[in-house]
Amino acid sequence: MQKYLDDFQQMIALRGLTDHTMKSYSTYIRAYLDYLEHILLKNPEDVSWQELRDFIVFIQRKRSLSDRTINTTISQLRFFTLYVLHQYWDPYQLPTRKFDTYLPFVPSKLEVATFISSLPDLKQKTMVTLMYSAGLRISEVCQLKCSDIDRLNMRIHISKSKNRSDRFANLSPKVLPLLEKYWRTCGKPKNYLFPKQSGRDKPIDTFFLSRHIHAHEERLGWERRLTCHSFRHAYGTHLYEDGTDLLTIKTLLGHKSLASTMIYIQLAPHATSHVLSPFDTLEDNYDL
């Protein structure tokens, strides 16, 4: 089965997909190949549509996967079937799931200030501050190099972003002293701004900060609601609350589509608070 996985990863590389995508896509294909080898006892070419459906049921039950993740798994199976097996894919045999969507939690400005100011670790404080002050993704923070900090023009160069395009994010004047303090205190890194803790010249892992965010929520006695992405959402929401137009927010966040930026209309508390309900305009000649 290793040959199938190698071929799969080679095709991902040929498509020019990112290392993150390769790692993500390999997760459930590896589980699928393991299922074929140890449970179904078949080669991928010989699997029927019913057996594919059985695998989806099996993997969902075993790993308690959400409907959104099941759709990702189906997408990976489609890629594997088309590009590795060179077989026809019938979307009517393995339909994708409908799933509920939820608005993300966005901390208030006061909550952001309380959280950042009380972080005891300088590296963690610097990373969270960058996510909020510039609207960066955690992957973008981890990939930052010292040369990406443009102090002359007060901006941050973001490369290898999610939509495969470079952009510049604003560098807050209040963040620069914190960055300089971190750099001097934490070993004066020369390449990656936040290198791997092992000392190798590689960026720090994205999961490093997640566990520390949850640990700090516990220290503060807060409900566990924050993620790394919460601070990026807070950046977009607070910009919109302060009157920044959506096109500017879209540019700063590096969104490919304005539709992604429109969520901040819903997340900003004041966005619709000024709208009167038609009930409020009715004549006062009725009894409740």
Q: Which residues are catalytic?
A: 137, 162, 229, 232, 255, 264
- Taking phi first (over 0 means left), then psi (-120 to 50 degrees means alpha), and beta for anything else, what does residue 135 get? left
Say if residue 152 is exposed, middle or buried (CB neighbours under 10 Å; 0-12, 13-18, 19+): exposed
For residue 33, which amino acid is it? L
Of residues 241, 230, 240, the one with CA closest to residue 105: 230
Tokens found for residue 42: 């078949």
Pull the structure tokens for residue 87: 């077989």
Tokens 């092992």 label which residue? 198
Give the full edge-to-edge strand order of the sheet including 167-170: 149-150, 155-158, 167-170
Is residue 150 classed as helix, strand or coil in its secondary structure? strand
Helix boundaries (H) for the chain: 2-14, 19-35, 49-63, 67-83, 109-117, 122-134, 138-143, 176-185, 207-220, 228-241, 246-253, 258-261, 263-267
